[in-house]
Structures are given as C-alpha cells and as structure tokens.
Chains A and B, each alone.
Chain A
Amino acid sequence: MSKGANPWVFLPLVAFVALAVLLASGLGRNPEELPSALAGKPVPEFSRPSLLNDRTLTEDLLTGRWQLLNVWGTWCPTCYIEHPYLLELARSGIPIIGLDYKDEDAKARDYLAEYGNPFREVIVDADGQLGLDLGVYGAPETFLINPRGEIVLRHVGEMNQRVWDDKFAPVLQQAGEAPGVTP
C-alpha cells in the first residue's frame, strides 16, 4: 500500500478528457471548405479572351472598383441555382465579372442568352489554368476584389442572400462602401 497517492495516476484521465473535448469539437463541422490562400494578394496576371466580344482581358479588368469575380460553368448544377441571385446582385449595381471555367464557348453563350447575363464581362478559362492561379478547386466560387485588384475573400459554393449578408456585406460596409455604389 502506498501512503500518499501518486499524482501521476491522474494524468491519463486528464489527457483523455482533453482528447474527448477535441473530438467533440470536431463533430458536425464541415471539414471541406478552404479559405483563400490569396487573401490580401493581388489577382494574378492573365491575358484571356472575352466570351462576349473580341477583347483581350487582363488583370486590369479587376481593378478600379469593388467587384465580384464569379467562377462558373454550364456543367455546374449549383451555378444554375445561384444564377438568379447573381442577376439580382447585378441589378442592384454590384459589378460582377464572370470566369467561364473549363467550359465551351458556344454552350456558355447560349446559357447566358437563355438565363440572363449578370456579368459585365466574362473571362474564358477553358483549360482551367487561370483557375489554378486563383486557387480555384471547383465551381461555383465567388471572389470579392477591391479597387486595388486585391482578393479580399473567397466563397466556395452557392451565392445567395444569406452568404452575402454574412460574408460579403460586412466587408463592404467596413470599407465604407454601401453595396451598390460604383465610383
């Protein structure tokens, strides 16, 4: 029989409790969404054709004002779902540039003709390499870009009113921009 209890015997229990807490914290989380690694960095250089006309678009397109860059494709079902909301945003004055990602030009044009075009311009990225430069891993994704051409944040998945209110609007408000104002 030992006289005093050896305090080390409680160590395994304490360690286990810490482990259990850690495991509990993991329940119910979605381990899939990635934050943008490019937050705070400028949009990468690029030189791509436009879908809508025969201009060549470069990264200068994404400077000068607050705007959204929306990554989409006709093959992407969630993009169909978010499309009406994008039209709404566009109508309320938010500039949106589209990035037609890994898609076919003809199909994309038909899509916009049929469902409406919320985009001021659409960059064609047929081989996905511009997407790679942006850290895109699927569609739809929406970037918020500031007037200096820097990526402020990126949202993965469907764009809707709740996402706008939770993620995008606060940033714009902080920057002193009421949504819808274009300099």
Chain B
Amino acid sequence: MIRLALLLLALAAVPSWAAIDIYQFDSDAQQDRFHRLTEELRCPKCQNQSIADSDAEISQDMRERVARMIREGHSDEEIVTFFVDRYGDFVSYRPPFNPRTAILWVGPLTLLLLGGVGIVLLVRRASREAEEDDQ
C-alpha cells in the first residue's frame, strides 16, 4: 500500500536523456505529427532507437529535415518515403508489406486460423464425449 502511495504521489526530479529541440510549427497538430514521425523513424547508427529517442548527430539532422518537410507542407507518407529512399526500409519502423516480409503477418494469422480449426475439431470431439458421459 505504501508502495502504491509512493508510486502515485512521488514528486521527483528524475534524469532523462532525450534531446529537446525547438522547432517552430504553425500549429499543435504539426507538432504532434513531428512527434509521431520522429518516433516512427529509426536512427541508422544507433542500437535500435528512434530518431526521437536518440541524441546522435545523424538523428538530429534527420529531425531537422523532418521538421523542415512538415513546415513545407509534405505529407507523412512523403516524409517517410524520403528517408526510406535514402536509407532503405531499415529506417522506418513500419515494415513494408512485400513477398519477403509477408511472413510477419501471414505467420501469426495462419496460426490463428489453424488453431481455430483445431479448436473446432477438438470441441466437436469433446462435445460427443460429453454426450456419451451423460448416457
């Protein structure tokens, strides 16, 4: 209980690592797009961090470019494509859907379907057994 209270009411000064840059945007919506996009793009030389999370120089450059492109009116799609064209699919945290990546989605879906079929068969058999038990 005390732990709960501490959890809830802690007033803490805590260390953090993210770089906070200020880019001027015309609207809050634009700033939201910026946050979303920078979390979706990956820092090419870091250990699996988005450019929002990373302080590496390349991340800063990329954030600058994203901000500039938002101000210039480019769409989210265009911005992501811009980076993917230059850094490859690797730089986007949204994997593309193509024959080689298809298994990412097909795999679990297949499991779900096959499992579903399996359950149906199992339940049918169990149902028959339940009938027999009742007799």
Contacts and interface: CB of A to CB of B under 8 A. Distances in A.
A and B are partners in one complex rather than unrelated chains: yes
Interface of A: 32, 34-38, 41, 102, 127-129, 131-138
Interface stretch (B2-10, B83-91, B96-104): B83-91
Q: Is the interface of B mostly helix, strand, loop or mixed?
A: helix
Interface of B: 44-45, 57-58, 61-62, 64-65, 84-90
B84 A37 contact: yes
Given A129-B61, A132-B62, A132-B65, 4 more contacts: A37-B87, A128-B61, A134-B86, A138-B58
A32 B90 CA distance: 11
B65 to A, nearest CB: 6
A102 B58 CA distance: 10
Contacts, number: 42
Contacts of B84: 37
A37 B44 contact: no
Contact of B87 (A41, A127, A135, A138): A135
Nearest to A138: B45
A134 B86 CA distance: 6
A34 B87 contact: yes
Nearest to A75: B57
Contacts of A127: 61
A62 B57 CA distance: 26
Contacts of B65: 129, 132
A158 B89 CA distance: 24
Contacts of B61: 127-129, 131-132
B58 A137 contact: yes
A137 B45 contact: yes
A132 B67 CA distance: 14
